[in-house]
Structure formats: C-alpha cells, structure tokens
Structure 1
Amino acid sequence: MLRTVLLTGLTLAIAIGGGTGSVQYALDRFEGFGALKVGQWSAYPAAGTPDSDPYAKARGARNGTLALGAAEGLIFHASRDARGRELDRSCTYRITGATPPARFWTLYPADRSLQPLPPRPGMLPALHSREILRSEDGRFSITVSPEAQPGNWLPVEGSGPFVLVMTFYDTPVASSSGLSDLVMPSASLVEEAGCRG
C-alpha cells in the first residue's frame, strides 16, 4: 500500500515538474509562430490580435505585458549582431541605418524576457526618434556600450546577454501588407573597441 502511494506521488511529481519545466523552456526559448524577420530584427505583427499564437499569449500573460494593437505600432527585437553573435552587455555595438516610417520610435536594452534593463543612474532608460542626431540623408548611428560615447549613446549596465527592443508607434508597417521592402538598422560589434573585461 505504502509503495503504491509513493509511486503515485513520484509519478505526479515528475508529471507536474516536467510539465512546468517544459512550458517554461518553451516560453523562454521558442519565439512563436508568425515572426516577421528583417535582418537580425524580429517582430510579431499578429501579437495582440485574436490571431496571436498560444505561445505569444502565454508569454504576455506570464510577463504581464500588453501587446500593441495593429493600428498602434509594432515591436521589433534583436538578440544577435550582424554576424550572428549574441549581444553582450560588456561589448560596444554600433546601430546604423534608417528606420521604417513612423510618427515616433523608441530603442532600449532589455533582458531575454524583454523586460527593460535598469538604467544607469541619471540616464534615461531609452533613446527615441526625437532626440537622435542624424546625418543629412536622415540616417543615424547609435552606439550601445557600457562606456560613455560621443553622439547617440545607449548605455548598458551589468554583464551577460541582452536584447535590443525597437518599438515603432503609429506606423503603416504594422498594418501594411507590403512588408518585403521593410528596412531596419543594422547592429554590428565595434571591433576596435572590443569588449570590456
């Protein structure tokens, strides 16, 4: 009798623990269906709509985030540089290029669950389109680094991997079917600066 109770308890513990672990793994590692990929940037145009996949809905519920509606904007994120290497907080990166048309956009560093990294004391946690210095043709260059940089600088603190999150508000991209011509800036490691530590 006691053996049966112990085996039943062990079976339930394995089933519940394994099920919980597999759900956490799937939500942390699997990005979901319907991704729009532009270079190293990914977005989910269906997020926040009834057509959103179950993984996106579960991730949003777990993280307590609200997705933008199709008419409100679109969120892109990049976790790797132009060479496919994972972004590291101890390294310096340069984001160059132009963005799709939008009334306003923001760029901030986040952890893997897309929660914003804590800002450096006295610094804003994000950059936005109205404060960026641009060249004459409208292109820009942003340096993401743990060390202070001239021009457009987005500071990152701590160590380990991070994700760049770029959100476009009031943009035709979110509801457009012509997404094949979409251009996003490129993030590349600044080799001469290297990585700290």
Structure 2
Amino acid sequence: MLRNVLLACLALVIAVGGGTLSAWYAVNRFDGFGALTVGQWTGHPEAGTPLSDPYAKARAAREGAFPLGSAEGLAFYAYSDEQGRALDRRCSYTIKGNSPNSRFWTLYAADRSLIPLTPGMNRLPALHSRQIFRQGDGQFVVLVSPKAQPGNWLATAGAGRMVLVLTLYDTPVGSNSGLVDMTFPAIMRTGCDG
C-alpha cells in the first residue's frame, strides 16, 4: 500500500515538475518554430501573424512584446559572437558587413529580457541606417563597447549578458524566396574588460 502511494507521489512530482520545466523552457529559451537564422542573427518572420506558433504567442504575451506585422518589418536578435560566445556588456565587439535589403534599419543593445540598455548621458542608445558612416564599398563597421570609440559607436553599460537587436523595416527578408540578399553583418569580439 505504502509503495503505491510513494509511486503515485513520484509520478505526480515528475508530471508537475516536468510540465512546469517544459513550459518555462518553451516560453523563455525555445526559439520557436519557423525561426530564420543567418549567421549569428535569428528572426521570427511569422511573429505577429496568424501563422505564429503557440510558443511564440506565449512568449510575446509574457514579455509584453508587440511584434511588427509581416509587411512592416522584422527584428533579428544576436545572442553570441561568431565564435559562439555569449555577448557580454563588458566586452567590445565589431559588427562589420552589409545589412540585408530594407528601406530602414535600427540597431540597439538590450538585456536578455530585450529591454534596451541605457548607456548614460551623451551616448546614443541606438544607431540607424541613415546616420552611420559607410566604407567605399558600402559596408559599415559598428563598434559596440562600453568605452568611447571613433566612428559608428554603439554604447553599452553595466555587466552581464546582452542581445543585439537589428530591426529591418519594409524588407522582403521575411518572405524570402531565394531572390533576396541574405547577408548579415558578422559580430567579432575585439576585447573584454572582465
């Protein structure tokens, strides 16, 4: 009798614990179905549409996110550099390359909850495509660092992990049929103060 009660309790603990952990993982860590990954950048073209999967809907509801519609634009997130190391606010990075086809884009750093970092006074919290300096071949170089940098500088502050958010507005990338240039800038770590 006692053995049956213990087995029932064990099954209940496994069911409740496993269900809770799987729900937490699905809402917090799972990228969802239909993720579009190019290099270090990951976007969700179906977010904000009726085709969005239930996990993406739950994550958006939990975070209070309001994703752009498919005709408006698409946000891409980078959590690591080209070597697979998590992005750290105390480190410096070089983002180099071209952005995919879009009418306008923005780039900013955020914490892991996707809340934009506030780098402090006299520092720009974000960059956009119409304010950056470009090289002769059209490529750009953005320096992400807590310390002042020459040229295109995206300031960060604090300690801990961060996410780079590249939002493309009026872009055909989400409905890519193979005819759209899918090159994204590379993210390289250049130094670290921690």
1:77 Cα offset (Å): 0.7
CA RMSD of aligned residues (A): 2.3
Q: Show the counterpart of 2:148.
A: 148
Gaps of 5+ in 2: 1-10
**Structure 1 runs not aligned, ≥5 long:** 1-10
**Any idea what the Cα deviations from partners look like across 1:142-166, whole Å, max 9, x if unmatched?**
0000111000000111111111000
Name the structure 1 match of 2:118: 118
Secondary structure of the corresponding residue to residue 192 of structure 2: coil
CA displacement at 1:119 relative to structure 2: 3.2
- TM-score, normalised with respect to structure 1: 0.85
Amino acid at match of 1:38: V
- What are the equivalent positions in structure 2 for 1:123-138 lying under 5 Å apart? 123-138=123-138
- What amino acid is aligned across from residue 127 of structure 2 in structure 1? L
**Partner of residue 79, structure 1:** 79
Aligned twin of 1:164:
164
Corresponding residue number in structure 1 for 2:192: 195
Please report the TM-score for the alignment, with normalisation by the length of structure 2. 0.87
Give 1:42 shift. Answer: 0.6
**How many angstroms does 1:117 deviate by?**
1.7
Q: Equivalent residue of 1:55, what SS?
A: helix
**Contact 1:28 1:113 survives alignment (8 Å):** no
Where in structure 1 do 4 or more consecutive aligned residues deviate above 3 Å? 11-22
Three-state SS of the structure 2 residue aligned to 1:92 is: strand
Q: CA deviation at 1:182?
A: 0.6
Task: Find the residue that maps to 2:37 and give its secondary structure.
Answer: strand
Q: How far apart in 1 are the matches of 2:15 and 2:175?
A: 42
CA contact (8 A) 2:124 2:155 kept: no
1: CA distance between counterparts of 2:51 and 2:113? 22
Aligned equivalents of 1:59 and 1:122: distance in 2?
34
Q: Which residue of 2 aligns with 1:178?
A: 178
Tell me the SS of whatever aligns to 1:182.
coil
Q: Partner of 1:112: helix, strand, or coil?
A: coil
More moved, 180-189 vs 48-57: 180-189
Query: Which residue identity is paired with 2:100?
Result: P
Q: Percent identity?
A: 61
TM-superposed CA distance for 1:60, in Å, is 0.6
Name the count of aligned residue pairs: 187
- Residue 179 of structure 1: how far off its partner (Å): 6.5
CA distance in 2, matches of 1:36, 1:18: 28
Counterpart CA distance in 2 for 1:110 and 1:189 is 17
Alignment-derived partner of residue 55 in structure 2? 55
Partner Cα distance (2:143, 2:38) in 1: 20
Supply the distance in 1 between the matched residues of 2:113 and 2:20 (Cα, whole angstroms). Answer: 17
Q: Which residue of 2 aligns with 1:6?
A: none
Contact 1:134-1:140 at 8 Å conserved across structures:
yes
Tell me if 1:32 matches 2:32.
Answer: yes
Q: Distance in 2 between matches of 1:34 and 1:115?
A: 24
Are the counterparts in 2 of residues 143 and 152 from structure 1 also a CA contact under 8 Å? yes
